[in-house]
Structure 1
Amino acid sequence: MAIQSVIGAIIWSDLGLDPVALDLGFFQLRWYSLAYLAGIFIGYWYMLKLIKQPGAPMARRHADDLVFYAALGIILGGRVGYVLFYNLSYYLQNPLDILKLWDGGMSFHGGMIGTVLGIIYLSRKEKLNWLRVHDYVACCVPFGLFFGRLANFVNHELWGAPTNVAWAVRFPELIGGMTVLGPPRHPSQIYEAILEGLLLFAILAWMFWKTQSRYEPGKLVGAFTFFYGLFRFLVEFVREPDAQLVGFAQSTGLHMGQWLSLPMILLGAWLMWTAKGRRQRVEPTAGTESVA
């Protein structure tokens, strides 16, 4: 049980968390890295369950290739997106730091763009329906989001705005060159793990297993895009903007994450709205006769 401070907030250091999962001296394995690996491999396991159902848009061999392209898109797109959207001026002055993935700094929106490009490339190469492939991939993404947000909490990064709620957390913060105990803050990483991970997975799982959504190209990826954008937009109200983007948030009235989420909300709504018109006869398994 976490030790409480005199003002009732949870002290992060009392939780016994360490960003480093394994330290061999010459090598450190961080929870942040494990979160990415867990998201990719559990997502792959779930994908194999999905494509066993009638009407899958790809075969097992396509799913195997997709793991590589998706992982590449997540890592490269996520890093490039963070550099471009969140801290371009710093990386222009320190270009070698772009390679320091272990220090954190990944953009979901950039990772999403990278993954989309990887899926489109594979789909064109293998002559697959790229939108339906996106639908299946979208159902697997919440695993990575869940573990990634938990890793953000373990890394005591991307914390929330100051608050006096009973579950507020005081994180160690670097102020004036010294690490001190910061004010009570919203554990926004946990909010996002619940909304973007657990709840989003539940919505997509219900749509896939209990409705005919997988036969309407774009409906599942549209739901993912819409709800992720909505959840992210709302959580940003209780999330602290990146230090280098405080001025941007003050001048525009919204955080960078909110501006990037608005197009997602609109695109997701459009994909869901128009999905029924794209309903088509699909194959029960790759290479066999079609069923409705």
Structure 2
Amino acid sequence: MKAYVFPGQGAQYVGMGQDLYENHPLAKELFEKANEILGFRITDLMFEGTDEDLKQTKVTQPAIFLHSVILAKTIEQSFSPEMVAGHSLGEFSALVAAGALSFEDGLKLVSQRAMAMQKACEMQPSTMAAIVGLEDSVVEEVCQSIDEIVVPANYNCPGQLVISGTFEGIDKACEILTEKGAKRALKLSVGGAFHSPLMEPARAELAESINNTAFNTPVCPVYQNVDAKPYTDPEKIKANLISQLTAPVKWTQTIHNMLADGADHFTEIGPGKVLQGLIKKIDRKVTTEGINKLQ
């Protein structure tokens, strides 16, 4: 079975999507529509901006979403997913690609999500760290033992768990996890503690927008981050999408479930190769490929 996966924040690069814009009329039309919806020329920042421009949350999230979704729309003839999933922000790309959300509504929600997350980060300075080389249960136990907000945020693959929380909580966790044998406990250069209780103000803000947006039944099951299970019911998809901001991304569990349900070929659509790498670490035997430019 064919599974398509969509990347999240961190996969961006300068020049992303430019070949699509220049060589495909539908892509150009959608990019221009995006400039209009966002109220600034995101295409200028994507094609000719600096790494710093692209790192701004209000730019990064819509840019990755646009690259992924417009790619899926330009390969429509060969795009026949039997299941889809996206990592964090990528879940919105997956929902649009599978027809659960319109392009316009998906972009508006992603833009609102980015702004709401930015605001939450400014309210409470916080960060994330990648923990490599320990069992998930050890990381979970250490997070629980700390008298600060610090939680598992991204279950990326076996032996790689990203934690999220206050600066003090993350520092303390990194120290203890290093003592317990972590190969690496590396603080990430991110704006704040994504997928943690510190994103509650953003979750509350986004909930209203999601509830007021029309969702359709997708063409195939969408495996959602919150519990790694497949969904086609629009109301359940909405509820899971709202919970996603403060809950961990269960990527390892998602891929295991997709494999158990018959996935034997994963295609990553959008910038970078991060998800292909993670999937290979979850199951070396599975076939993976990436599409990041016009075919």
Higher RCO (CA 8 Å, separation ≥ 6 residues): 2
Q: Which structure's residues are more often strand, by fraction? A: 2
**TM-score normalised to the size of structure 2?**
0.26
**TM-score normalised to the size of structure 1?**
0.26
Task: Say which one has the larger Rg.
Answer: 1
